């Protein structure tokens, strides 16, 4: 493991740097990546952000977005950049499997690998770690990395601040989750002072629905929602025909699971969707109901205690049935 002083020494000269984040990047993944990007370019580094897959259009406003390389469309260029990189920053994920085929390229690369993350149990591929599971967002950790470790608060400009604000806002469910501490509010206050326009960022991310997306949300709530009162659980199930009918794009299913969790008394909500190649589950829970444990044990996934995801290659119907069969095991925590 590298210490911070050595890392600062390495960063004192312009370097070739790759920043990457988990597949299907969310607001924190892309916000923390571009926040760090906008910081590093001020120091004269040659920086490329490479995402394993594409991400929702409502993050395209972020400064630096136009230079982001999406791996699936640029295999050779990405491989060359990873191979030539002197440093690789891995943001918002804890295991190389979370960046798909890029994982092996990063593992093989001779670059110094730096992990900035808030997920449980990092697998340990990195040379330097700025990691805290209590952080509400990786963007919060990018801020503390720049300010407390690199001691460079003066370089948190409007571009850096706007991206980091978006990461914190989205991962804290707009400052509503229990990990939104007073420290988080102090950091976001600093980001606003540095130029992040909080109300505008909210508008760009959340008031950017297509008509189809809103009608699809209506369908999910009125016709695809099932409540299991004996388990305080709500499930929304959508199949590939629903997605096709409403022309649902990457990221447009994001957040729908929260409507199921918003019902009084519900402690576990699942959004189960039939993607082209597999079934994807998004779980959200309250209190001691371990969403990540369910995903890890039964659906090849993981995540945070109260927000986790997983996948299955079974049919949609099988996955929904399997999910229901698991619930008795967690009944004590669900009816608490
Ligand atoms: P979402 O439901 O929004 O896809 O994911 C919620 C949380 O679970 C995110 O923090 C994400 O990083 C994590 N997550 C989602 N899918 C997976 C997965 O397949 N594997 C693991 N390890 N984590 C996941
Ligand atoms: Mn995150």
Mean pLDDT of 267-285: 97
The predicted structure's pLDDT at residue 153: 98
Q: How big is the CA angle at 312 (ends 311 and 315), to the nearest 5 degrees?
A: 135
How would residue 268 be classed by pLDDT, with cut points 50, 70 and 90? very high
Greater confidence (276 vs 163) lies with 163
Indicate if the pLDDT at residue 234 is higher than 90: yes
> According to the model, what pLDDT value does residue 134 have?
97
CA distances to 177, 195, 228, 284 from 334, in Å? 19, 43, 11, 12
Pairing state between β 233-238 and 87-91: unpaired
In tens, the pLDDT along 49-104 reads 999 999 999 999 999 999 999 999 999 999 999 999 999 999 999 999 999 999 99
Does the pLDDT value for residue 250 go beyond 90? no
Q: Ligand nearest 133 Cα, by number?
A: 2
Position 336 pLDDT exceeds 90: no
Q: Using CA positions, which residue lies closest to atom 11 of ligand 1? A: 303
Pocket test for ligand 1, best of 20, 308, 313 (most atoms within 8 A of CB): 308
33, 133 in Cβ contact below 8 A?
no
- The answer on pLDDT for 24 being more than 90 is yes
Q: Inform me whether the pLDDT recorded for 251 exceeds 90.
A: no
Q: Under 8 Å CB-to-CB from 269, ≥6 apart: which residues?
A: 233, 234, 235, 236, 257, 258, 260, 261, 283, 284, 285
Arithmetic mean of pLDDT, 109-118: 98
| CATH fold for domain 4-206 | inorganic pyrophosphatase (n-terminal core) (3.90.1640)
Per-chain mean pLDDT for the chain: 97
Q: What are phi and psi of 36, to 5 degrees?
A: -65, -40
Atom of ligand 1 nearest to the CA of 26: 3
Confidence of residue 6 (pLDDT cuts 50, 70, 90): very high
How far apart are the CA of 265 and the centre of ligand 2, in A? Answer: 26
Q: How far is CA 24 from CA 7, 56, 249, 259, 267, in A?
A: 29, 8, 12, 21, 26
Residue 174 has pLDDT above 90, yes or no: yes
Domain ranges of the chain: 4-206, 211-334
Spatial contact of 149 and 130, defined as CB atoms under 8 Å apart? yes
pTM for this predicted structure? 0.94
List the residue whose alpha carbon is closest to atom 12 of ligand 1.
Answer: 303
Residue appearing with tokens 């400052």: 175
Report the Cα 327 to chain-centroid distance in Å.
26
- CB-defined site of ligand 1, < 6 Å: 22, 26, 282, 301-304, 307-311
Probe ligand 1: pick from 120, 173, 302, 313, max atoms within 8 Å of CB?
302
Q: Each residue of 27-55: pLDDT tens digit?
A: 999 999 999 999 999 999 999 999 999 99
Q: Which overall architecture, per CATH, does domain 211-334 show? A: Roll (3.10)
Ion ligand 2 nearby residues (CB, 5 A) = 28, 92, 138, 171
pLDDT band at 317 (very low <50, low <70, confident <90, very high): very high
């Amino acid at each position: 493991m590298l210490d911070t002083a050595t890392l600062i020494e390495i960063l004192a000269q312009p370097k070739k740097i790759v920043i990457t984040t988990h597949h299907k990047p969310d607001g924190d993944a892309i916000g923390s990546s571009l926040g760090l990007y906008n910081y590093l370019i001020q120091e004269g580094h040659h920086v490329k952000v490479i995402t394993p897959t594409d991400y929702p259009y409502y993050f395209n406003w972020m400064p630096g977005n136009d230079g982001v390389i999406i791996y699936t469309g640029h295999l050779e260029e990405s491989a060359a950049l990873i191979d030539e990189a002197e440093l690789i920053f891995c943001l918002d994920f804890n295991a190389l499997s979370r960046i798909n085929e890029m994982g092996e390229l990063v593992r093989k690369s001779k670059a110094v690998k730096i992990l900035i993350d808030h997920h449980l149990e990092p697998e340990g591929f990195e040379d330097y770690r700025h990691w805290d599971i209590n952080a509400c967002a990786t963007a919060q950790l990018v801020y503390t990395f720049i300010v407390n470790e690199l001691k460079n608060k003066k370089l948190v400009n409007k571009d850096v601040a706007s991206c980091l604000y978006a990461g914190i806002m989205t991962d804290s469910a707009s400052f509503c989750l229990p990990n939104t501490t007073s420290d988080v509010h102090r950091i976001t206050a600093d980001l606003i002072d540095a130029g992040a326009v909080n109300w505008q960022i909210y508008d760009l991310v959340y008031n950017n629905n297509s008509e189809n997306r809103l009608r699809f949300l209506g369908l999910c709530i009125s016709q695809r929602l099932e409540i299991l009162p004996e388990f305080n659980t709500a499930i929304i199930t959508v199949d590939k025909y629903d997605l096709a009918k409403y022309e649902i794009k990457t990221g447009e299913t994001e957040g729908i699971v929260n409507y199921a969790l918003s019902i009084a008394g519900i402690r576990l909500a699942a959004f189960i969707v039939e993607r082209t190649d597999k079934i994807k589950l998004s779980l959200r829970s309250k209190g001691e109901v371990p969403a990540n444990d369910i995903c890890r044990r039964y659906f090849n996934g993981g995540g945070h205690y109260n927000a986790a995801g997983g996948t299955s290659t079974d049919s949609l119907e099988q996955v929904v049935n399997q999910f229901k069969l698991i619930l008795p095991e967690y009944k004590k925590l669900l009816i608490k």
